[in-house]
């Protein structure tokens, strides 16, 4: 029998949130919203058992009311929303398990949410609420009234493969075939495949074609980053130079090999980069992007983005210990009429993404400790979601030598039709029809299953149970097994793969990107021990096949042949691309800059890029594992922004070394000069890291390039310039790149995002007791400024806010390390109490943020450095930090910082932020001969602007 | 030195077991993280331990309400062993998800045999939240192993989405007050040193971060052996874990009292 249970909580924050959000999307008449959790049960369960089930797990006797098989009479209009079949539904699964635990007959469960919308609502209102707020039709069904349950499960089908005839197809026909099957292969690549199978004397089947498309996708093989590129660079004065670039990725690797510091353990070879932590332990770091999925299903996209990058860390045998996230969204206040068809509103994307990140990281028990949020019109159609993870592993514990005879083993989640075509989908642009064609590429994560994988991998590593390991990401088994077996060859049988529901064809099993799976090479004699370990931790294990030594990829489904290809063709058959890029430096433009005043300071503090991110970041656990030394919020009111995160990993109490993680990102600069953007982002990352006590000589960085369609010369030209900036920067800062990721084709209807480079840095604080933050100052302390200003306002926040139209960007530092070494030495010596970097909004915002963080007044005299009044306060030149130090240490600080710093003011025992400027260069004289007050605001005003007055 | 063996059960989704074990060890206990499957198959026995600490996390993803599934497992698989444990007066401590489990299993405030009138449900703000709070071991907690620590102030983080103490009606809260079952209370925070007199949060956000009735952050049972709380004192047991500010409010005294009661 089938029955339904409706449960509602007596006081219900979910309903209140719907009511609050309705006016924001233009629905004014919603007075109340009552949210029911709906459970459909199917099976031989009797009414008494249903009552027991309700009492045991479904209905909280204190706050819930429920009905069994009596749909509550709606007070208004009822809308029901349910996950589509095959979408991960942990509540359904846990309820089925709870019933089994109580000894009841097996049941199948389907869940839904029921919204009773009360108020004067038109049909349009209900439709708008449903579409914009309650349901996402990428993964959910919805209807007014009652929604029929859909129980997971389809009829089993006979496994079959479909032959795809390529012989005789013209270029146009090959291109059409690639499009229809979402292969994302170009004609050249299709021709190579056609030729290969003609040589073999047979037609490929669907699974083979899909395997090639996944393995050769931009997502998996980074075609653009391996291509030969001719760049035509036109300087602002019209000088044209043409240069040849023999691969962007090789260029990045080359600098790392050239720098090759002793503490570098592994770069660019595996799922994550690895550096030394101490004598025994290493740190693994990786940042991924999950942009395309997050645009369609923000919660699920970001959710699985976290899951994916955490698996990258498992893929180098490390225990994940922390997460980071950097997010780029369209403006939250974007008027509806400016929203392109097929795009979710930026606010909804933001809320979903933030929810998805929190849900996954929190449930994995990983602190999310560092990040940034940037708002810009260019991200309306393509939000960017960068998910990072940090891991810890004993030095030398990551095996990478699968042997002939080893078993190919998968652990973790089951396989469904979810996430098919993820790799190829993210290797193409999007438009309004994308949802329909690739809806299945998006999925919801299951962090608890991944948590099990974390526990098993750590123990399996320590027990030496595997000889190689990789995560199952884009392309599913086809990529993971294909890569792992590249050298040896593998033979796989898909018939035994546990499925979420029957009905999958072999190619779907092979390609599915169902989450939370790890693939290992396991010596046959270790298999039983691994199985026992998985049983102990409630993790499912599947023995897929073996490493053969014949260098072929052979996949069967029982007796049925599915794939039979030489590894050589799969991995080396892809023709290298020849591409052309063009970049023109913008002409310098004279701007008319106004002055700087208190009102502008408050505007900058309240700008979404600067303002407090508490409403986002507090939804992430930044304390779990008990190792957070410098957390995202600092100071007595816990609302000052931290520069970077300092973490003392659990289990490393034998010394005082801590890890530090920071980031740099400045897409506004890249619009004018992508080369400078790379160097300035690297500067931001390292100065953030140094500001909390990190050692500038122990920094490794990751690159993450999010760009538009690289087949268009202007996008590619900008990308090449940014890579040049990275390689130049790595040499200037002596920071090796250890891993990276490119996400291209971030375009909507032919409009590209601003080329956006994220630099993520990982390093060390040698003594965690010397870690500082931006709030540690007390009244009477001296304030010091490191670095000089720049007149160039191109790409600055103040330029964006005032619409100045500046195109000249700050000049990157030629020799940045001496100043950072000096600052680090002063911090490590215990001379510095607080530090904060000057980034968005320049020194004015930096000083005000320190005052907010410490809840102290400040009185500063900003050196004019020959700049106009606006630039003096708000320029975003590199290499600048504000430091606070005790007055009695003044001479010692001056000696430690030397030419790199000037004393600019004092921390006050009052509630005022006062700023003046001075032409004088000498510290003492400058403070004496300052201008009249230019900015004076109270702490309360600054706090209100920064927090939006809403705590 | 006697280091009492303390069981730290791990179910799928448990995630603050590592730092809970660390706190126990610092307080002089012998922490043993044991998967629930090992308890179920009998390879490890609950009764062989001097105390139980149910740690934080998201057991089974909290898919049917926080802690509900693990509470069901405790009730169906370990009812007798846990009953004996409680009857013997051996100390139990549930933190965050562990507290939710104890409440949903009817062990807090208990007794399990009567209809449950207290629960932990969605935060008043409707979402997960992480922030440092100030709590005090309630001066009225008389019969518990916590009594010696009554008045102790702890600064530590919360990190939960379903931490609001809700009661069937106001008299239930009053009765818990009268019977000394309120173990921890949220206090007003701010920059003031905790040596100065602190006032209860009186429902004000963010001092009371989730809207809990009577500012209740933690409860104990009638005999005082079973204690649970939402905040995480295990995340503040060494000085560098604390945000910059007064050198006060370590959670270690809580674990010291717990281990002492076990020993």
Our answer to whether residue B220 is catalytic in this structure is no
Distance from CA of B110 to the nearest CA of A (A): 14
Q: Do domains A165-243+399-574 and A595-612+774-951 have the same CATH topology?
A: yes
Residues comprising chain A, all counted: 951
Name every chain A residue with its beta carbon within 8 A of the beta carbon of B75: 56
Nearest Cβ partner of B130 from A9, A537, A622?
A: A622
In this prediction, residue A10 carries a pLDDT of 87
CA dihedral A715, A719, A720, A722 (to 10 degrees): 140
Number of compact structural domains in chain B: 1
A–B: how many Cβ contacts below 8 A?
168
Query: Which of B96, B122, B156, B220 does the annotation list as catalytic?
Result: B96
List, for chain B, all residue ranges whose pLDDT scores fall below the cut of 50.
Answer: none
In this prediction, residue A184 carries a pLDDT of 87
| Domain parsing of chain A, residue ranges | 2-144, 165-243+399-574, 595-612+774-951
Mutation target to probe the A interface, by most A beta carbons within 10 A, among B24, B75, B240 is: B240
Contact A638 B125 (CB under 8 A): no
H-assigned helices in A778-881? 797-802, 817-828, 842-854, 869-874
List the 72-131 stretch of B: residues with Cβ below 8 A of A. Answer: 72-73, 75-76, 104, 115-119, 121-131
Contact B119 A951 (CB under 8 A): no
* Element spanning A80, H or E: strand A77-83
Find, in chain A, the residue whose alpha carbon is nearest to that of B160: A621
Domain A165-243+399-574 in this protein, CATH class: alpha beta
Tokens 């602002």 label which residue?
Answer: A236
As given in the structure block, the two tokens for residue A812 are 């990157």
Task: Please indicate if any CB of chain A lies within 8 Å of the CB of B213.
Answer: no
Range of the domain at B44: 5-262
Strand partners, A386: A289, A326
Mutation target to probe the A interface, by most A beta carbons within 10 A, among B11, B41, B56, B65 is: B65
Contact A536 B38 (CB under 8 A): yes
Distance from CA of A67 to the nearest CA of B (A): 17
Is residue A405 within 8 Å of residue A339, measured between CB atoms?
Answer: no
In this prediction, residue A438 carries a pLDDT of 47
Distance from CA of B209 to the nearest CA of A (A): 11
Task: Supply the ipTM of this predicted assembly.
Answer: 0.96
Q: Report the CATH architecture of A595-612+774-951.
A: Alpha-Beta Complex (3.90)
Find, in chain A, the residue whose alpha carbon is nearest to that of B37: A536
H-assigned helices in A430-582? 434-438, 447-462, 476-484, 506-511, 527-536, 567-572
Nearest Cβ partner of B118 from A17, A62, A623?
A: A62
What distance in Å separates the CA atoms of residue A859 and residue A857, rounded to the nearest whole number? 7
Contact A650 B18 (CB under 8 A): yes
> Mean pLDDT of residues grouped by 10 in chain A (951 residues)?
92 88 90 96 92 93 94 96 86 92 92 96 94 87 91 70 92 93 90 94 93 88 93 94 96 97 94 96 97 91 95 97 98 91 92 96 97 96 97 97 97 84 60 51 85 98 98 89 93 93 87 92 98 96 97 95 95 92 92 94 97 96 97 93 97 96 98 98 98 98 97 97 98 97 93 97 98 96 97 96 96 98 98 98 98 96 93 97 98 97 96 92 70 94 87 40
Is residue A82 within 8 Å of residue A110, measured between CB atoms?
Answer: yes
Nearest Cβ partner of B121 from A60, A358, A452?
A: A60
A89 phi, psi to nearest 5 deg = -140, 85
Distance from CA of B144 to the nearest CA of A (A): 25
Residue A590 CB contacts under 8 Å (≥ 6 apart), including other chains: none
Contact A636 B121 (CB under 8 A): no
In this prediction, residue A736 carries a pLDDT of 98
Contact B12 A618 (CB under 8 A): no
Our answer to whether residue A398 is catalytic in this structure is no
Contact B37 A536 (CB under 8 A): yes
Distance from CA of A495 to the nearest CA of B (A): 28
DSSP B148: G
Distance from CA of A452 to the nearest CA of B (A): 7
Nearest Cβ partner of A538 from B37, B123, B159?
A: B37
Name every chain B residue with its beta carbon within 8 A of the beta carbon of A57: 64-65, 68-69, 72
Task: Please indicate if any CB of chain A lies within 8 Å of the CB of B18.
Answer: yes
Nearest Cβ partner of B64 from A57, A625, A626?
A: A57
Find, in chain B, the residue whose alpha carbon is nearest to that of A951: B206
Nearest Cβ partner of A13 from B35, B117, B125?
A: B125
Query: Which of A40, A196, A233, A290 does the annotation list as catalytic?
Result: A290
CATH number at residue B170: 3.40.50.880
Count Cβ neighbours within 10 Å for each residue of A913-947 and write b for 16 or more, e otherwise: bbbbbbeeeebeebbeebeeebbebebebbbbbbb
What distance in Å separates the CA atoms of residue B17 and residue A646, rounded to the nearest whole number? 22
Task: Please indicate if any CB of chain A lies within 8 Å of the CB of B35.
Answer: yes
Distance from CA of B119 to the nearest CA of A (A): 6
Name every chain A residue with its beta carbon within 8 A of the beta carbon of B124: 13
Nearest Cβ partner of A447 from B61, B128, B190?
A: B61
What distance in Å separates the CA atoms of residue A80 and residue A103, rounded to the nearest whole number? 31
In this prediction, residue A336 carries a pLDDT of 84
Find, in chain A, the residue whose alpha carbon is nearest to that of B237: A626
What are the strands of the beta sheet with A319-329, ordered from one edge? Answer: A264-266, A273-276, A281-289, A384-394, A319-329, A368-375
Find, in chain B, the residue whose alpha carbon is nearest to that of A52: B72
Contact A448 B130 (CB under 8 A): no
């Amino acid at each position: 029998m089938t029955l339904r249970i409706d449960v509602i909580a007596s006081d219900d924050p979910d309903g209140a949130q719907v009511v609050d959000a309705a006016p924001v999307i233009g629905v004014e008449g919603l007075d109340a919203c009552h949210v029911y959790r709906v459970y459909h049960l199917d099976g031989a369960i009797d009414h008494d058992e249903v009552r027991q089930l309700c009492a045991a797990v479904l209905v909280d006797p204190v706050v819930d009311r429920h009905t069994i098989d009596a749909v509550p009479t709606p007070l208004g209009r009822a809308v029901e929303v349910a996950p589509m079949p095959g979408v991960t539904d942990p509540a359904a699964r846990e309820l089925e398990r709870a019933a089994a635990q109580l000894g009841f007959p097996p049941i199948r469960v389907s869940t839904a949410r029921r919204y009773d919308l009360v108020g004067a609502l038109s049909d349009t209102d209900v439709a708008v609420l449903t579409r914009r707020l309650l349901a996402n039709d990428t993964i959910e069904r919805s209807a007014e009234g009652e929604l029929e349950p859909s129980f997971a499960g389809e009829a089993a089908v006979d496994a079959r493969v479909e032959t795809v005839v390529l012989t005789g197809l013209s270029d146009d026909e090959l291109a059409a075939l690639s499009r229809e099957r979402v292969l994302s292969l170009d004609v050249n690549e299709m021709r190579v495949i056609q030729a290969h199978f003609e040589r073999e004397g047979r037609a490929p089947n669907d699974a083979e074609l899909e395997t090639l498309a996944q393995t050769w996708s931009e997502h998996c093989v980074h075609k653009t980053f391996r291509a030969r590129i001719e760049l035509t660079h036109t300087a602002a004065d019209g000088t044209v130079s043409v240069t040849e670039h023999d691969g962007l990725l090789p260029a990045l690797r080359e600098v790392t090999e050239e720098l090759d510091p002793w503490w570098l353990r592994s770069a660019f070879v595996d799922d994550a980069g690895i550096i030394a932590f101490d004598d025994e332990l290493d740190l693994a770091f990786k940042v991924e992007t999950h942009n395309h999925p997050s645009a369609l299903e923000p919660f699920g996209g970001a959710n699985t983005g976290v899951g994916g990058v955490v698996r990258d860390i498992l893929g180098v045998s490390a225990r994940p210990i922390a997460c980071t996230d950097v997010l780029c969204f369209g403006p939250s206040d974007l008027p509806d009429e400016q929203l392109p068809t097929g795009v979710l509103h930026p606010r909804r994307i933001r809320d979903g993404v933030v929810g998805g990140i929190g849900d996954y990281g929190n449930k994995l028990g990983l602190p999310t400790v560092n990040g940034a949020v940037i708002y810009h019109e260019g991200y309306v159609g393509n939000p960017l979601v960068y998910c990072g993870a940090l891991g810890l592993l004993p030095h030398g514990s990551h095996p990478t030598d699968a042997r002939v005879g080893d078993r190919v083993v998968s652990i973790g989640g089951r396989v469904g039709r979810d996430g098919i075509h993820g790799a190829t989908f993210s290797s193409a642009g999007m438009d309004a029809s994308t949802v329909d064609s690739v809806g299945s590429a998006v999925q919801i994560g299951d962090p608890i299953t991944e948590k099990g994988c974390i526990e098993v991998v750590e123990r399996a590593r320590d027990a030496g149970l595997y000889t190689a390991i990789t995560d199952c990401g884009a392309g599913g088994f086809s990529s993971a097994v294909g890569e792992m077996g590249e050298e040896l060859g593998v033979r796989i049988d898909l018939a035994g793969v546990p499925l979420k529901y029957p009905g999958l064809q072999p190619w779907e099993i092979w390609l599915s990107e169902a989450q939370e799976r790890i693939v290992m090479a396991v010596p046959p004699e270790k298999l039983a021990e691994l199985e026992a370990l998985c049983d102990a931790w409630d993790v499912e294990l599947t023995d897929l096949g073996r490493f053969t030594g014949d260098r072929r990829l052979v996949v069967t489904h029982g007796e049925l042949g599915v794939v039979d290809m030489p590894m050589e063709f799969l991995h080396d058959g892809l023709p290298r691309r020849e591409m052309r890029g063009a970049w023109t430096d913008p002409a310098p433009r004279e701007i008319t800059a106004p002055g700087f005043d208190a009102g502008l300071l408050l505007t900058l503090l309240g700008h979404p890029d600067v303002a407090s991110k508490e409403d986002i970041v507090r939804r992430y656990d930044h304390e779990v594992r008990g190792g957070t030394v410098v957390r995202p919020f600092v100071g007595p009111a816990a609302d000052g922004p931290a520069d970077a995160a300092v973490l003392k990993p659990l289990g490393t109490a034998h010394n005082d070394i801590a890890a530090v993680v920071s980031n740099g990102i400045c897409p506004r600069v890249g619009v004018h000069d992508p080369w400078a953007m790379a160097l300035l982002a690297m500067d931001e990352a390292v100065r953030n890291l140094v500001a909390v006590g990190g050692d500038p000589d122990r920094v490794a960085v990751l690159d993450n390039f999010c760009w538009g369609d690289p087949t268009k010369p202007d996008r590619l030209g900008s990308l090449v310039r940014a890579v040049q900036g990275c390689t130049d920067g790595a040499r200037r800062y002596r920071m090796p790149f250890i891993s990276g990721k490119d996400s291209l084709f971030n375009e909507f209807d032919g409009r590209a995002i601003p080329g956006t480079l994220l630099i993520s840095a990982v390093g060390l604080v040698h003594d965690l007791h010397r870690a500082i933050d931006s709030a540690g100052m007390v009244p009477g302390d001296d304030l010091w400024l490191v670095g000089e200003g720049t007149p160039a306002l191109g790409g600055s926040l103040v330029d964006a806010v005032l619409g100045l139209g500046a195109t000249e960007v700050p000049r990157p530092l030629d020799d940045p390390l001496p100043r950072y070494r000096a600052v680090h030495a002063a911090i490590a010596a215990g001379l510095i109490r607080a530090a904060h970097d000057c980034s968005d909004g320049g020194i004015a915002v930096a000083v005000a943020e320190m005052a907010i963080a410490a809840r102290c007044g400040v009185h500063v005299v900003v050196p004019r450095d020959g700049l106009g009044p606006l630039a003096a306060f708000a320029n975003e030149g590199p290499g600048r930090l504000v430091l606070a130090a005790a007055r009695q240490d003044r001479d010692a600080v001056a000696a430690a910082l030397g030419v790199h710093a000037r004393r600019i003011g004092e921390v006050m025992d009052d509630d005022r932020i006062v700023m003046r400027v001075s032409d004088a260069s000498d510290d003492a004289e400058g403070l004496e001969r300052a201008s009249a007050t230019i900015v004076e605001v109270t702490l309360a005003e600054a706090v209100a602007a920064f927090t939006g007055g809403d705590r | 030195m006697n280091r009492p063996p303390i069981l730290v059960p791990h179910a799928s989704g448990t995630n603050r077991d590592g730092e809970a074990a660390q706190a126990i060890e610092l307080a002089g206990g012998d922490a043993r993280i044991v998967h629930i499957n090992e308890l179920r198959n009998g390879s490890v026995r609950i009764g062989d331990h001097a105390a139980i600490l149910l740690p934080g996390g998201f057991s089974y993803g909290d898919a049917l309400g926080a802690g509900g599934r693990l509470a069901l497992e405790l009730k169906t698989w370990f009812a007798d062993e846990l009953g004996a444990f409680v009857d013997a007066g051996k100390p139990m401590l549930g933190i965050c998800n562990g507290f939710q489990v104890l409440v949903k299993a009817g062990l807090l405030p208990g007794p399990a045999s009567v209809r449950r009138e207290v629960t932990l449900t969605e935060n008043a703000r409707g979402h997960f939240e992480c922030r440092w709070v100030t709590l005090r071991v309630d001066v009225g907690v008389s019969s518990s192993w916590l009594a010696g620590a009554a008045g102790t102030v702890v600064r530590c983080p919360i990190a939960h989405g379903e931490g609001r103490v809700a009661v069937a009606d106001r008299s239930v809260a009053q009765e818990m007050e009268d019977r000394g079952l309120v173990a921890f209370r949220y206090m007003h925070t701010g920059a003031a040193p905790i040596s100065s007199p602190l006032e209860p949060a009186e429902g004000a956000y963010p001092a009371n971060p989730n809207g809990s009735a009577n500012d209740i952050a933690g409860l104990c049972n009638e005999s005082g052996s079973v204690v649970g709380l939402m905040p995480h004192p295990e995340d503040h047991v060494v000085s560098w874990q604390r945000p910059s500010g007064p050198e006060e409010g370590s959670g270690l005294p809580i674990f010291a009292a717990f281990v002492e009661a076990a020993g």
